[in-house]
Structure 1
Amino acid sequence: MSLVHILALVGVVGAAAPAVAQTAAPQPLPTPLIAQACRGCHGQAGLGMEGTPAIVGMDPATFQRLWGEFRANQRPATIMNRIARGYSDQEVATLAAYFAVRQ
């Protein structure tokens, strides 16, 4: 095998490496992006609006418990029970931590 062939092979393998790295498992969305979805019902700052409670400053365990109740249809809701099913447990924990420290 000539030097040209070896260099060409190294170039092809090297070019494929970024593509392989990009096919890794998807990562959860950054917290601010995830939290933006809550603004439509809970307000820009999460302080609640007519018909929806404030979520800022909520204890993370309470946040996650309530989320689980919505997800399991154990808590009355107009749309939150459907929204709750669209988030992973990790994303819910991230939201709970994010809103817990907001005032």
Structure 2
Amino acid sequence: MVRLFRYAKLGLSLALFMGAATVISQPVAAQSLVPPPGALSCTGCHPIDPKVNSPVTRLDGRDAEQITDAVLAFKAGKMPATVMDRIAKGFTDEEIRAIAAWYAKRKE
């Protein structure tokens, strides 16, 4: 029983070490593509997969300031919209800026 416990501890230690090594070894570019909170809800209409066809404007690689300005205009009701005015109200200005920056870093 003691031997089994030692092997279990060894296995757990190795798993934790390997997991940490994987995170540390990720290139900075890959880490910057991790979506901020809320961003994945945007990808339902503004896909990040280039193979997905969508009638909605693609945001990958667009200027972050342009994206931010447009979403803030939707949020304020200053830009005509079908649903973006309602969706934008669900995000803080900081979240909108973070999502815009994330999309801007992505290249199609």
TM range (shorter): 0.5 to 0.7
Check 1:37–1:86 CA distance in 2 against 1; reply closer, same or farther (3 A cut): same
* 1:83 is aligned to 2:68: no
**Amino acid in structure 2 at the alignment position of 1:58:** R
Question: How many residues of Structure 1 are paired with residues of Structure 2 in the alignment?
Answer: 73
Check 1:94–1:32 CA distance in 2 against 1; reply closer, same or farther (3 A cut): closer
Check 1:85–1:48 CA distance in 2 against 1; reply closer, same or farther (3 A cut): farther
- 1:1-103 matches, cutoff 5 A: 31-45=35-49, 49-50=54-55, 52-103=56-107
Which portions of structure 1, spanning 4 or more consecutive aligned residues, are displaced by more than 6 angstroms? none
What value does the CA root-mean-square deviation take over the aligned residues? 2.2
TM-score by length of 2: 0.59
Structure of greater Rg: 1
Percent sequence identity is 33
Mind listing any 5+ residue stretches in structure 2 that lack a counterpart?
Answer: 1-33
Mind listing any 5+ residue stretches in structure 1 that lack a counterpart?
Answer: 1-29
Once residues 104 and 53 of structure 2 are traced to their aligned partners in structure 1, the CA distance between those partners, rounded to angstroms, is 14
Once residues 81 and 87 of structure 2 are traced to their aligned partners in structure 1, the CA distance between those partners, rounded to angstroms, is 10
